[in-house]
Amino acid sequence: MCGIVGTSWSKKAREFIIGGLEKLEYRGYDSAGIYYLDKDNKSNLIRTIERVKKLKDITPHFDEGIAIGHTRWATHGGVSINNAHPQSSYDQKVFVVHNGIISNYKEIKASLIDSGVKFVSDTDTECISNLFSFCLYKKKMSEYDALKYLYDNLKGQMSALIYDNKKLFFIKKGSPLLIGKSDDEVFLASDSLPLISYANKVCYLEDKTYGIINKNKINVFKDNKKIKLKFVKLDDSNGNISLGNYDYYMLKEIDEEPDRLLDLSNKIEKEVPSELLDCLRNEKIMILGSGTSYHAGLYAKKWFKATNMIASEFVYDDKEYDNYTFVLLSQSGETFDLIKAIEKIRSGQNNKIISLINKENTTIERLSDFYLNLHAQPEIAVASTKVYLNEVVALYILYQILNNKEYKDSIKELVENLKKVSANKDYIYEYTKKISKVKNAYFVGRGFDYKLALEASLKLKEVSYIHSEATYAGELKHGPIALIDKNFLTIFMITDKKFNDIIDSNISEINARFGKIMILSTTGIESKYDGFIVDYHSDLSGLVLIMFAQYLSYYVALNRKLNIDKPKNLAKSVTVE
């Protein structure tokens, strides 16, 4: 969940580290820090329990140097200076930044304490710096032997950058780590965004590797053998993540949805191999995802006779799966629960994996049999918006191709209706002024619309911190209606005309208890309540209501003066269990 960067004697070390951490804040932003050795061989450790902007303000100017940086999503230990990274060793010789979890850190810590080593933080990361220094300076191991010992003894899912004696060391064990190179400079990062403008080629490190970087010389090892790195040209086509005239990425990304769907529609068919379609003809299909991606998979039940599971639940399911086609949905391609799910999938017989991801060269892509890019372009706001729509429409297109049906006209019609929602932004903003102080909300639907309610509810709670739940309309009187009062918001979502009359009865039940009511519908239902109603009938009409809910969530959070792009306690790329 954390973001790490490093560079070996770059001439723009400070610029790269700070800029790289800014681009990695989607991974976590509880605290941030930098360690660097400048060209005068002065050692500097700077940490803050604020965000990267504060780190930028308090880090002195320096150019050339060797440096590592970190932006944190707290797992072990609270948010404090002592727990912020980089973590130093007991003798202040070794400095470490780390992404992931060390599952056996308690045993390592206890052993080192028995040997007289003192710890000052509650992090698992401090085990790396202390163990490495102990091996080098107490046990007098060689650099390679100490690194190999570290690699062998750290259990869990992690990537780490380690500084010692004017060199960088690294470990990649499950979590992503990339090496970028220019003519004579070396850069490392959790993903490719920080490397753009600094490196011209990149190596996506193999898993279960470790290495030593001395100036611009890189030695990488796997299974106790030195391996050759495979560098490819760094694709910088998605490198422009400027806000432009927007205050927040979330609003920018919602506004982009019509264009991103047209991009997907124009590109995806050329990228679908016939073998992938053969896999989708399987009668045994399971769609896996987490959070918003799981909700996108639920939408696809309109077309595929598939089973849906939350990835983290699938991992611990006792059932054995053979001869299945698994469709994996992920914004980042690094979702830990999906990577663990792949291990379970591969333990079965004759299973195939199709991954739909919004990035290239990810762990999940490399572990899949087939991969399709979602073409939503980078999504920076932690709350996913445009990727959800592209996931749903990608699955719709695959179904249409599979059945030799046309789909572009349907997507153009969808885009036109999405633009109708965008045209109502001013109304949505004004309406949210009435509801921004509510503390609770229900999103309510019948049948398929409950699946829309799940995603709409998640968006509101993610960015506004309003407690929100999704519920079936028919279940209201079986418990949920007990909470309704004048301060409780209920939003009804309707895409099927057959539910118009019965939903009207549910609305009356809420009104009788003085609850606040909003109607989102594509059925042309007549209503005296606030909301958005359009007469649009399509398998994709639910996406129009989701877009409205996204705007609603954004403007509620704006009225509550919250940091919309970076909600508290969340990270965009969930790379730990």
What amino acid positions are annotated as catalytic residues? 2, 572
Distance, CA of 440 to CA of 266 (rounded, Å): 41
CA dist 67 → 86, 127, 136, 439 (Å): 10, 20, 20, 45
- Asked if 544 contacts 421 with a C-beta cutoff of 8 angstroms, the reply is yes
Q: What is the secondary structure of 48-117 as a DSSP string? A: ESS-HHHHHHHSPP--SEEEEEEEE--SSS-SSTTTSSSEEPTTS--EEEEEEEETTHHHHHHHHHHTT-
- Asked if 371 contacts 388 with a C-beta cutoff of 8 angstroms, the reply is no
CA dist 236 → 38, 161, 256, 360 (Å): 29, 24, 20, 12
Contacts of 476 by beta carbon, 8 Å cutoff, 6+ apart: 442, 444, 506, 509, 510
CA angle 36, 42, 48 (to 5 degrees): 45
Tokens 């999103």 identify what position?
443
- Using alpha carbons, select from 174, 128, 71 the residue that is nearest to residue 577: 174
Distance, CA of 85 to CA of 122 (rounded, Å): 12
- Asked if 360 contacts 235 with a C-beta cutoff of 8 angstroms, the reply is yes
Distance, CA of 90 to CA of 92 (rounded, Å): 6
- Asked if 94 contacts 22 with a C-beta cutoff of 8 angstroms, the reply is no
Contacts of 318 by beta carbon, 8 Å cutoff, 6+ apart: none
Residue type, 377: Q
Q: What is the separation of C-alpha 137 from the centre of its chain, rounded to a whole number of angstroms?
A: 39
Positive or negative, the CA dihedral 528, 532, 535, 538 is negative
Contacts of 266 by beta carbon, 8 Å cutoff, 6+ apart: none
Centre a 10 Å sphere on the Cβ of residue 45 and count the other Cβ atoms it contains: 15
Distance, CA of 341 to CA of 314 (rounded, Å): 7
- Asked if 522 contacts 537 with a C-beta cutoff of 8 angstroms, the reply is yes
Tokens found for residue 86 = 């980089």
